[in-house]
């Protein structure tokens, strides 16, 4: 790779051992990708959470993350991060650690880990949706983010530039402010590849999840361009679309002409290129996506309702509370709602937390079942309004799953029965 003077200084150890190890990692990473240069970043989102086995095997946090995040056999002492950096969602809600099956020892390790991250200057947003709680990158800004749904959102909706990074590359970027210039940092790679013409109505969050899931299945890791959207979607619909597309196929970038940041028209989205494939999303395609997401649902007796993947916004909590207020979750059904801590704080002030908890549901923070790999004890059948969770949780936890609207999920929580259907 062609290194600038400051990058050479980092690699030679002038900035300390930790920065040197980080730059060594990034050079190996960049060379493997075929990148020729680095780009500066001042917006990094990563994951530096250790589990109990790692703690017992390796020891202190500097040793753990030297091994896990810098691929270093040599222990390095981590300095404060060099650029603004945040922790994405974590493996635990510390307020409900026993409910999700964690021990006191795991809870204490988690709290120690969080204090360690704070000491490094890492912002403890602890969410898959940093853009809901203050980290909103601008068009053209080079970032280094993990979390597939967040990457799809800031690339597509906002026009920021990132690839879907990993633990090692984001930790190294935190220490150096550098990331390889390749993939979606490069303008021509952000152009559309597939044109999907919408022929059926796409107006509800559920519809946007189905459109996203179908798009991901078809284009895989390419760049879909969605045309003929007649109603401007709200933020949470686009959040849902990107999460579904990323789960089904690895989509990190997309265009909706006239709505997303980088394309006012279909021609803008493709530049001088032509689509490699033109497809439609009509009644048959919507049914295909719906059937795929509900393929592992057979038993209509629901005992777990999960909402908040990606993490719910205040608007979504407001809508949920209108559905729940004055009602009670059926005995034997668990309903868990996931948000960032910052939104939980506002929900407390607004009275939303009380409405949710008075119904018998639980408002959780900083984690989700797919990442934390947990579920209520004895769970057999899930209902969710998240295409991402419907895609992942059956494989991770061995349960059945139903995908539908928020209203259908609340109905399942109140009755214990799944009565959803494709609309």
Residues pairing with 365 in the sheet: 339
Kindly compute the dihedral angle of the four CA atoms of residues 271, 277, 294, 318, in this order, to the nearest 10 degrees: 20
- With contact defined as beta carbons under 8 Å apart, do 197 and 279 qualify? yes
pLDDT score recorded for residue 177: 99
Contact 191, 223 (CB under 8 A): yes
Rounded to an integer, what is the distance from CA 25 to the centroid of its chain?
24
Q: What is the pLDDT of residue 109?
A: 96
The yes-or-no verdict on residue 58 having pLDDT over 90 is no
pTM for the whole thing?
Answer: 0.97
Asked if pLDDT for residue 24 goes beyond 90, the answer is: yes
Alpha helical stretches, state H, 196-261: 205-219, 235-249
CATH of 304-415, one of 3.30.499.10, 3.20.20.450, 3.30.365.10, 3.40.50.720: 3.30.499.10
Query: Which of 51-65, 130-144, 220-234, 396-410 is predicted least confidently?
Result: 51-65
Cα-based distances in Å from 314 to 16, 149, 318, 343, 352: 43, 18, 6, 7, 9
**Cα–Cα dist 129/331, whole Å:** 32
Q: CA 56, CA 216: separation in Å to the nearest integer?
A: 39
> Which residue's entry shows tokens 């045309």?
227
Q: How many percent of the chain have pLDDT more than 90?
A: 98
pLDDT digits (tens, 9 = 90+) for 265-316: 999 999 999 999 999 999 999 999 999 999 998 999 999 999 999 999 999 9
Is residue 243 a contact partner of residue 310, using CB atoms and an 8 Å limit? yes
29 close to 179: Cβ distance less than 8 angstroms: no
Taking the C-alpha atoms of residue 186 and residue 22, their distance in angstroms, rounded to an integer, is 23
Place of tokens 């945040």: 86
Q: What share of the chain is helix, strand, coil (3-state, %, to 5)?
A: 45, 15, 40
Pairing mode, if any, of strands 178-180 and 38-40? antiparallel
Span 338-358, mean pLDDT?
98
Query: For 5-186, CATH number?
Result: 3.30.499
Long-range CB contacts (within 8 A, 24+) of 57-65? 61/112, 61/113, 61/116, 65/171
Mean pLDDT along residues 65-78: 95
% of the chain residues with pLDDT over 70? 100
Query: Rounded to whole angstroms, how far apart are CA atoms 311 and 386?
Result: 10
What is the Cα–Cα distance from 409 to 315, expressed in whole angstroms? 17
Matching fold, domains 5-186 and 304-415: yes
DSSP label of 125: -
Count Cβ atoms below 10 Å from residue 25 Cβ, excluding itself.
21
Give residue-wise pLDDT tens across range 144-175: 999 999 999 999 999 999 999 999 999 999 99
138 Cβ neighbours under 8 A, 6+ residues apart: 158, 159, 160
d(CA 27, CA 47): 20
pLDDT digits (tens, 9 = 90+) for 192-236: 999 999 999 999 999 999 999 999 999 999 999 999 999 999 999
What sections of 220-351 are H helices per DSSP?
235-249, 266-270, 283-293, 314-324, 341-350
List the chain domain ranges: 5-186, 191-293, 304-415
pLDDT at 352 over 90: yes
Q: What does the pLDDT average to over 367-393?
A: 96
What gap in Å lies between CA 165 and CA 362, rounded to an integer? 31
User: Positive or negative, the Cα torsion across 302, 304, 310, 315?
Assistant: positive
C-alpha distances out from residue 404 to 26, 137, 398, 409, 420, Å: 42, 31, 19, 7, 6
Quick one: pLDDT at residue 329? Answer: 99
Mean pLDDT of the region 102-120 = 97
- Report the mean per-residue pLDDT for the chain: 97
Gyration radius from the chain CA atoms = 22
Are 18 and 77 in contact by the 8 Å Cβ rule? The answer is yes
Q: Please give the pLDDT value at position 108.
A: 97
**Contact by Cβ (8 Å): 178, 5:** no
């Amino acid at each position: 790779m062609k290194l600038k003077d400051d990058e050479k200084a980092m690699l030679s150890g002038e900035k300390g051992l930790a920065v040197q190890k980080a730059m060594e990692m990034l050079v190996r990473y960049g060379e493997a990708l075929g990148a020729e240069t680095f780009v500066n970043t001042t917006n990094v989102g990563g994951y530096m959470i250790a589990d109990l086995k790692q703690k017992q095997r390796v020891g202190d946090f500097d040793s753990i993350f030297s091994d896990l995040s810098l691929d270093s056999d040599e222990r390095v002492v981590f300095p404060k991060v060099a650029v603004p950096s945040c922790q994405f969602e974590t493996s635990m809600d510390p307020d409900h650690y026993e409910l999700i099956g964690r021990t006191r020892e795991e809870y204490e390790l988690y709290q120690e880990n969080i204090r360690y991250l704070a000491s490094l200057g890492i912002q403890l947003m602890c969410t898959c949706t940093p853009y809901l709680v203050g980290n909103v990158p601008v068009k053209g800004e080079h970032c280094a983010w993990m979390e597939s749904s967040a990457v799809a959102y800031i690339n597509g909706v906002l026009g920021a530039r990132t690839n879907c990074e990993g633990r090692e590359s984001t930790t190294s970027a935190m220490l150096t402010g550098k990331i390889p210039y390749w993939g979606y940092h490069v303008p021509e790679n952000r152009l559309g590849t597939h044109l999907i013409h919408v022929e059926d109505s796409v107006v509800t969050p559920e519809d946007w999840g189905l459109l996203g899931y179908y798009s991901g299945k078809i284009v895989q890791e390419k760049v879909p361009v969605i045309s003929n959207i007649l109603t401007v979607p709200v933020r949470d619909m686009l959040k849902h679309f990107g999460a579904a597309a990323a789960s089904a196929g690895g989509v990190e970038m997309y265009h909706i002409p006239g709505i997303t940041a980088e394309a006012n028209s279909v021609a803008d989205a493709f530049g001088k290129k032509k689509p490699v494939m033109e497809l439609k999303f009509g009644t048959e395609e919507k049914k295909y996506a719906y059937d795929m997401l509900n393929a592992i649902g057979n038993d209509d007796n629901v005992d777990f309702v999960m909402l908040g993947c990606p993490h719910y916004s205040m608007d979504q909590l407001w809508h949920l509370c209108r559905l729940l207020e004055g009602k009670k979750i059926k005995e034997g059904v668990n309903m868990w709602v996931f948000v960032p801590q910052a939104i939980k704080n506002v929900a407390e002030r607004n009275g939303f937390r009380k409405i949710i908890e008075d119904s018998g549901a639980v408002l959780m923070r900083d984690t989700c079942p797919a990442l934390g790999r947990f579920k209520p004890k004895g769970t057999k059948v899930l209902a969710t309004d998240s295409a991402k969770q419907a895609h992942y949780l059956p494989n991770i936890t061995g349960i059945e799953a139903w995908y539908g609207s928020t209203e259908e999920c609340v109905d399942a929580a109140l009755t214990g029965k799944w009565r959803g259907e494709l609309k």
